[in-house]
Structure 1
Amino acid sequence: MHSLRLRLLLWLIPSVLLLWIGALGFSYVDSRREMQDVFDRYLLQIAQSLLSQGATPAALSPEIAEEIEHEDEHQLVFRVLDRAGRVISQSAGARVFPLQTPEGFSRLRVHGVQWRVLTFNEAGSQRRVLVAEPQDVRDEMLREFIWDTFMPVVLALPFLALLIWLGVGRGLKPLRELARTLKTRAPDSLAPVQLENPPAELQPLQVALNELLGRLAEAFARERRFTADAAHELRTPIAGIRLQAQVALRSTEDDARRQALRQVIQGADRATHLVAQLLTLARLEPGHVLEKAPVDLCALTEESVASLAHDAAARGTRLSLRCEAPIWVQGEAGSLGILLRNLIDNAIRYGGSQGSVEIDIRQGEPGIELSVMDAGPGIPPEERQRVLERFYRRLGTEEEGSGLGLSLVARIAAMHSASLQLGAGLNGRGLGVFIRFPG
């Protein structure tokens, strides 16, 4: 199992170490350059003093004279030449240096030792002076400076790592609190998670978690409603089937027994139809993702009309379809087929015997318009919105039904971003269902 704290530490500590090494390298280069400049100015100061104060150690300032007199300790050497190149004065260690050296600052290796050499001839002076110092002296002083500067930082690194460890642990404390909060919650608790002063980085997680809990609560509520509704609605047809079966068992007459058995078959058909619609409605609950593709709405409607033609003929209902095929919509053919069959079946069953049902599909502006109209008793305007609710059935309706047909239609229309309106049907009578699909 990967540890977030370990990952942070493996990122932070090497990063700090690399930055520290980089800072050390930069400081070393910069300090070396600055120290070189300081020592070069020091050599120039000695050279100027030798030219201006008589060219002997006794004529120099006490500090510089002490440096030269203790040349074995400080290893600083000098030489003063006249205009003809003769030695006027020199320190003991300068005898090994050649008489001719380049003007200005240079590096010279003498007997295996690297020297920093300044050959100086001041304007207007008849003398030329050489001052030299071993490079090792400068490097040793630079190393001591770097060591004294960065050694405390090196010693502080373990403490810095410990502070980073503790800081990362403290920073992850809200995550541990969230874990404890979730661990101690009741299994059936879907209430939002509340944290005291959560950090900004944890707030998106808290919001997303609460949104998930809200969706779960809504889904469970839908499941409970569906279970309760299904149990309630199935109770009636099952009770009817049981009652008719008992009548058939007790009947001594063949006609009465056959009538009871026909009622059993009709009850079973109604229960089957109700279960099919309940399952379809459950499948189309929010969260269902449609697999949309171009669908020829005219051809799909012709298939639905053909599948219900026998029922229409049995009731003496005339079906008519007007559609200049093809008319394409983006949708799921299976869901649209359910929508069309429910609309046409409702129009046949509630449109009255010897009635008419007209289906019209046309390309409108904007979008595609589908209308299914019948000439039945219709639905009063004040009830048209309620018939879109699940299990709502108007009182006084002679037809058997589950109250799910139009709710399925409304759900499928919404899933296809289509608008649905209920209005008057044929010749101002009956019911008209008008659906507009986006173009």
Structure 2
Amino acid sequence: MRGWWRRLVEPSVLRGLLLAQIALVSLVWLGLVLLVVRESQQETALRQSVPAMEALVATAEALVDQPEALHRVLGKVDEWNRLGGGALDDPMLRTGMLVWRGAARVFATDGLPASLYQRHPEGLKEIEMVDGRWQVLTVHSGSGSDVAVSFIYPQGIMAVMVALNSRGYLLLPLIVSLPLLVLPAWLSVRWALRPWRRLSAEVARRDEQELSPITLPARERELRPLLEAINRLLGRLRGARTRERQFVADAAHELRTPLSAMSLYAESMQRLALPPPAAPLLDGMLRSSARATRLINQLLTLTRSEAEAQAPARRLDLAVLVGEVLAETAILAEGRRVQLDCELPESLWLDGQAEGLGSLFGNLIENAIKYSPEGGRVSLRLWREAGEICACLSDQGPGIAPAWREAVLHRFARLPDQSQAGSGLGLAIVASVLQSHGGRLTLDDAPGGGLLVRLWLPAADSARA
């Protein structure tokens, strides 16, 4: 219920257009009501009944010698005048009728105030009484029969209701059709908003790496400015992204040389006879230099992985590539006394970039070794299933809390209170390489504790491989 309420109260273009259409129809209906009310208060509107009254006068003159037939005819006319067709009508709402022949009253509508049961002068007059105001329109015959017909109309709200009843052929279609117009109006507005929904779906489908222009056809005049503005913005973002990558690559290349020289100088000074307090200082300098060099190398790797997304892929065997990465990381595993368990098939062919995929598995395996306790175990398994290459890597380290599993895939994101030094770029490189190869990744808890990494990559056609 709370979700439905939020959807009901939040602003909506569709709801606004729909309500605007309903309001327009309601205004038309209200205008007709006001027009009918205005007509009900005008003398000319009441005088439209004169032809019918003249016909009644002629009928009364023709049937003057047949009182029973005359009474039946006048009764039918009176019934037609009543609001509701004569069934359960309110005397204060009906159009009353009096018919006189000379001084004799031939017919009278029941339920009218007693003071109205009199012969009235010809023409239109208003009568104000304790129980309301009345308008009386009277027509006399021009012959010697001296027949007079009076129509008695209630005034005020009564007159309005009588007028509404008499103009029902104007108002009834609008009253009946107003609820039925909601669904067609909703469908028409929703159909008209289809181009905006297509544009919204196309923008939502993209991520922060997809900055190419949107090529949706924009035939609608109102949509073209929005699409052009979005493409201009994407163009500026592409330019900023290119400049950022170029800056990172240039800065990393420029920093590698002085850092390498600093490391060489520090290693050379270790061979000299220095005072004892200088040894820990040199060790700290070498560790800092190694850490800075690793950060620069990872920045260069990340920049290359993003640039390789535009390069053509080539056919390679992932099983061989992962075997080479394991051989390179074996020294790190031996130094921490971590056991590497690996299960690889004979071949796993895919289309991709060898350098990027090597960085992907290298970062994952190094992280697993680095965060596993000494004497722990890191397990890696690769296999092919349903046209995909699947990989599963688990360690026995502290793992990653669910709230951080999305954040650690971004640059320079590190968990608080980390026990191991790092740059926060390893998993960002993994995510970048996976994206450029059309793969996906999940982070979960490993059985018995630790981190479980699952990833999927599109496999190459085995026949072609």
What band does the TM-score fall into relative to the shorter chain?
A: 0.3 to 0.5
Return the structure number with greater relative CO, CA threshold 8 A, min gap 6: 2
Length-normalised TM-score, structure 2: 0.44
| Length-normalised TM-score, structure 1 | 0.46
* Bigger Rg, which one: 1
